[in-house]
């Protein structure tokens, strides 16, 4: 087990610890997507299926959460089922929440930011998720900016995703990432994916066409001791993509309803995802599931290539 700050609070599953110790490929997974991102029981089914995709690809999955006040790297199937059944009752946990969830011995579902922190503590460098957080629409009035962006600026983990969540201000999010020095890389695309849609229209900083290229860039970034992560964005498969214009109209309506109800902070994204799923008759949920699976496949390939270095 790595001798790093946080080890007194860190529990690494035996198979994950063995893989880390041997220098084998490991892929971190977040848990907020289980508790707050999808309804039960699809959340559990998806979480277990994503782990299987990673195993079948030749890497070891490490789903991360806070479990009874411990930083858990590698949830068991039973723990995933319990987390999924509890759903939104589980505390959504980002960087600021970690000391309090641990001190009170609570269960916590980790966001992108918290998952990156715990993955780095454990020595895992590749993380697969759905989409990253960012600058919220209407930021001039709300100043609502996800902690994910600051974490990407300081924690050295590659985040494989389907771009920035469609409900956010993608252009301002990219400006923020540029300011804090986070490379945004497109996998076989010149434009940033927009979660449900294959393209946002915004250019990426760099294009890569293989997992080996991503692994090499990550290795060099670590060797140069440049703090911060990489955003590796892969478009949702064509057969599962939604029409960008249609989804934007639905998002705009959902945001209007959210504002009328006075929903803010941590509750915004779960509210919007639920409303979008409702308005698309479940198509957005299916798209979400498929893009997470797709991201996990690429993250597995990158982790394997990284292990070879």
Whether 141 sits among the annotated catalytic residues: the reply is: no
Residue of 72, 79, 92, 165 marked active site: 165
State the DSSP H helix or E strand holding residue 150, giving kind and residue range, or none if neither: helix 147-154
Pair of tokens at residue 301: 């390939």
Output DSSP code: residue 29. Answer: E
In the DSSP assignment, the letter for residue 278 is H
Out of 30, 151, 221, 275, the active site residue is 30
In angstroms, rounded to a whole number, what is the distance separating the alpha carbons of residues 283 and 286?
Answer: 5
The number of helices, as runs of H, and strands, as runs of E, in the chain is: 13, 11
C-alpha of 284 from chain center: 17
Helix (H) or strand (E) holding 185: strand 184-187
Runs of H (alpha helix) within 156-243: 170-179, 211-223
Whether 30 sits among the annotated catalytic residues: the reply is: yes
Write out 47-104 in H/E/C secondary structure.
HHHHHHHHHHCCCEEEEEEEECCEEEECCCHHHHHHHHHHHHHCEEECHHHHHHHHHC
Active-site residue numbers? 30, 165
């Amino acid at each position: 087990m790595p001798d790093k700050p946080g080890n007194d609070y860190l529990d690494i599953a035996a198979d994950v610890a063995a893989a880390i110790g041997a220098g084998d490929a490991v892929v971190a997974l977040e848990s907020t997507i289980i508790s707050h991102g999808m309804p039960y029981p699809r959340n559990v089914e998806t979480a277990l299926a994503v782990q299987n995709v990673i195993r079948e690809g030749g890497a070891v999955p490490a789903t991360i959460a806070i479990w009874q006040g411990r930083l858990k790297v590698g949830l068991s199937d039973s723990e995933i089922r319990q987390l999924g059944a509890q759903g939104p009752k589980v505390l959504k946990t980002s960087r600021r929440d970690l000391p309090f969830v641990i001190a009170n011995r609570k269960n916590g579902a980790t966001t992108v930011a918290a998952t990156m922190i715990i993955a780095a503590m454990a020595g895992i460098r590749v993380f697969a998720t759905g989409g990253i957080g960012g600058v919220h629409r209407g930021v001039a009035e709300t100043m609502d900016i996800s902690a994910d962006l600051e974490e990407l600026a300081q924690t050295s983990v590659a985040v494989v995703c389907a771009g920035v969540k469609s409900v956010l201000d993608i252009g301002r999010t990219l400006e923020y990432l540029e300011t804090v020095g986070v490379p945004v890389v497109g996998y076989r695309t010149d434009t940033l994916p927009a979660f449900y849609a294959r393209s946002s229209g915004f250019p990426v900083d760099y294009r890569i066409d293989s997992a080996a290229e991503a692994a090499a860039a990550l290795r060099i970034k670590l060797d140069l001791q440049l703090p911060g992560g990489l955003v590796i964005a892969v478009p949702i498969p064509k057969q599962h993509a939604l029409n960008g214009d249609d989804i934007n109209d639905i998002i705009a309506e959902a945001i209007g309803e959210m504002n009328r109800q006075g929903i803010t902070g941590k509750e915004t994204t779960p509210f919007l995802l639920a409303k979008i799923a409702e308005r698309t008759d479940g198509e957005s949920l299916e798209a979400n599931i498929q893009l997470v699976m797709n991201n996990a496949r690429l993250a597995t390939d990158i982790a394997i290539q990284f292990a070879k270095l």
